[in-house]
Structure 1
Amino acid sequence: MQATLITERNRRWFNYFLLSAALLAAGCSGDNVPTKDLAAEIDEVAATLIEQPLLHSTSIGVVYRGEEFIRHRGDMEAGKPTPPTDATLYEIGSLSKTMAGTLMANAVLERKLSLDDDVRTYLQGDYPNLQYKGEPIRIRHLLSHTSGLPNMLPERANEVLENFTDQRTPLELNAVYTRYGKADFFKDLHAVEIRRMPGKDYGYSSSGTELTAHILETVYKSDYESLLRSFLRDSAAMTEVSIRLNDAEAARLAVGYHSDNEVPTTPMPQLPWGASGNVKATAPEMVKYLKFQLAAGPVVTESHRTLVEFDSEFSIGYFWNIISGDRLKGLYYAHHGGVPRSQCYIYIIPKYDLGIFVITNQSGDQTASAMEAAINTLVEKIAAQETVAD
């Protein structure tokens, strides 16, 4: 959710880290690839990751050619024996957007709406501002971050997030969203000014994802969280995914650290719908999500379909970042998630029938690059196994 999410800098990728160079090329092989040492490899990658400055713990989930692996390392609280477990609930931040995209792909396939619908069709009242020179914001523009809407509403949140690593940021963000509900969102939406043609330029927008959730609520006549939980339960056997937690669930929520603050910080504040960054899930639930993505059924296939191609290496699907031209990974789908006390990644890499979920309970300006390096190392190890098997 932070301002330093995926942008156009460094191939429009996460804006404060450099992608590691791919050092190993390997071809695909048959199904019988040995995985007997992969659990140990994941353990080693996890151990190396938490050796990085400020990182306390990590959980890694992997699905590789049908086999599942989950590893937890470190202690969630500094100086206390508090390792993460399969029961630990994590804030997955903007990985939530891929789930919203999945629900929208399902709505398209069910003909509940069209990607070319003017978003104002689903709004009460007049919004003459949600267009540029006669071209309206359409649903496809929300999904591809080309709507021209601001990253966050209210606009004050964007000012707070400009100084993301400042230790005051979590408290200031909490203050912005205290008692900020759907009615406030629509009021602020009326005041938005669209300054460029929708559908052309990339501009990361969490407010666009929140509006997506409203549209889904409108066409299905149900609240967004119920839609999400029902779909993931029926389609992916995911039963422990929540936006708002009850008391028992809140007790299992991972503690986390913001930037270089030695004191654990507060959770991400509740957004009006929560579709852009409020989903919580356990590592086993995210492994189920990886399996669902890798199975590539009709809904997933639609959600992975390119809606906008920005250059030969970077496209956007239904909120999914689509990366091509990587010598090691081939074409893959990925997303970063970040809140003030947690960062994570999801990678879907068809070349190896591989899905990776990595999360750590610290959020700072070096966290993403450390996780990216860990993922690259893990992919290199798997590619090396496949090369030997060939």
Structure 2
Amino acid sequence: MQATSMIVRNRRWFNCFALSAVLLSAGCTGKNVPAKNLGADIDEVAATLIEQPLLHSASIAVVYRGEEFIRHRGDMETGKPSPPTDATLYEIGSLSKTLTGTLIANAVLEHKLGLEDDVRQYLQGDYPNLQYKSEPLRIRHLLSHTSGLPNMLPERANTVLADFTDHRTPGELNAVYKGYGKTDFFNDLHTVEIGSAPGKEYAYSSAGTQLAAHILEVVYKRDYESLLRGFFRDVAGMSDIRIKMSEDEAARLAAGYHSDNVVPTTPMPELPWGASGNVKATTPDMLNYLKFQLAGGPVVTESHRPLVKFDSEFSIGYFWNIVSGDRLKDLYYAHHGGVPRSQCYIYIMPKYDLGIFVITNQSGDQTAHAMEAAIDTLVERIASREKLAEHEPPR
């Protein structure tokens, strides 16, 4: 699910944020001089982040050249002493897609499926609509958002999300997905029309991620959530990620605010499979995910492989946005996540052996800008520290 899909719909997201983050970071910190240690920098950035309008609380995880940091700031509910903790479960929104992409990369390496496979070989029934002329939708088209599938199924969800900041949006989204299951998804998939040759044009599609989760279930003969939890527990030590929650687990879910509404809003409705935006995770889980990404290895390397190169600076891997040529970050991998009551970012920057995860329990049209500014400030501090280290005389 990409509730804030208009923010991160295509490459212009990176271009406009490159400018806005520079402008905002000046206002966020006032200076980019590194503190004596990175922990102090993260403390400052986290404290400044929640001073931004409408932001209530934030959690940050950072892995930098083997060092690990977690910071929580603010109160999740206005007027109540309710700071987030390591046990807090957050809705990570479309960051869920990178988990799905990693599972697909593992399936490719295990020869369970191929990127060139026609997606219809994993579907029951006939889907003559899932092609353009004679060109079928292939698995690589799902991963690179070039399938031509709509953002959301059912289509009426896209109409609701078009006015994302309207106070009615969370309730209307809940109504759309009430009782909406896998059978409904496949019925709607039959009605989709592919308007151009797949593999060419970027069109963000959460529906494509849902279909990818179904394909994983078919090849592994296992439900998606158990596959997700088992894999990331074993390879990354992510012991607390989940899609569905028990009553006890739901009590740990972060309260969240939509737009400028002063009343906490409801969680994101459950989607079929949940692969596109229903994953919940703790900050320590996400720190372990950063470590897993930075460690590399065959699965991570495959998931970071560009599948479509749109221009010299922007590519798509296994749901990862890949940006090159950035003055500060160099080559990096990133994804935004957003639901009606939280937004987050993940950045993987090999140049600095650096991973950053930032999440806040508010979701509005300026939330992403504030988090981008915080991330840019941290990277500026790290870059300054490394530059100073280069010029220090040997001891």
TM bracket, shorter-chain basis:
over 0.9
Give the drift of 1:237.
Answer: 1.1
Residues 332/43 of structure 1: CA separation in 2 closer, same or farther (3 Å cut): same
Equivalents in 2 of 1:385, 1:196: separation in Å? 48
Unaligned runs of 5+ in 2: 26-33, 391-395
Q: Which amino acid aligns with 1:264?
A: P
Give the drift of 1:20.
Answer: 2.5
Give the drift of 1:8.
Answer: 2.5
The secondary structure found in structure 1 opposite 2:188 is helix
Residues 16/68 of structure 1: CA separation in 2 closer, same or farther (3 Å cut): closer
Equivalents in 2 of 1:16, 1:368: separation in Å? 9
Equivalents in 2 of 1:81, 1:247: separation in Å? 22
Aligned pair count reads 380
Give the drift of 1:248.
Answer: 1.1
TM-score by length of 2: 0.94
Equivalents in 2 of 1:353, 1:174: separation in Å? 40
Q: Which amino acid aligns with 1:76?
A: M
Match of 1:368 in 2: 368
Q: Which amino acid aligns with 2:321?
A: N
Q: Is the 8 A contact 2:330 2:349 kept in 1?
A: yes
Give the drift of 1:22.
Answer: 9.6
Deviations 1:188-247 (A, max 9, x none): 000000001100000000000000000000000000000000100110011100000111
Match of 2:388 in 1: 388
Q: Note the 1:94-109 alignment, pairs <5 A.
A: 94-109=94-109
Match of 1:83 in 2: 83
Q: Which amino acid aligns with 2:136?
A: P
Q: Note the 1:4-153 alignment, pairs <5 A.
A: 4-8=6-10, 10=12, 12-13=13-14, 19-21=20-22, 37-153=37-153
Deviations 1:49-100 (A, max 9, x none): 1111000000000000011000011110011111111110000000000000
Match of 1:284 in 2: 284
Q: Which amino acid aligns with 1:54?
A: L
Give the drift of 1:13.
Answer: 4.0
Equivalents in 2 of 1:316, 1:90: separation in Å? 26
Q: Which amino acid aligns with 2:308?
A: V
User: Does the alignment pair 1:197 with 2:197?
Assistant: yes
Residues 328/357 of structure 1: CA separation in 2 closer, same or farther (3 Å cut): same
Q: Which amino acid aligns with 1:228?
A: L
Deviations 1:158-216 (A, max 9, x none): 00000000000000000000000000000000000000110000000000000000000
Residues 317/35 of structure 1: CA separation in 2 closer, same or farther (3 Å cut): farther
Match of 2:313 in 1: 313
Residues 9/109 of structure 1: CA separation in 2 closer, same or farther (3 Å cut): closer
Q: Is the 8 A contact 1:8 1:15 kept in 2?
A: no
Equivalents in 1 of 2:227, 2:24: separation in Å? 42
Root mean square deviation, CA, Å = 1.8
The secondary structure found in structure 2 opposite 1:20 is helix
Unaligned runs of 5+ in 1: 25-33
Q: Which amino acid aligns with 1:20?
A: A
Give the drift of 1:15.
Answer: 8.1
Q: Which amino acid aligns with 1:43?
A: D
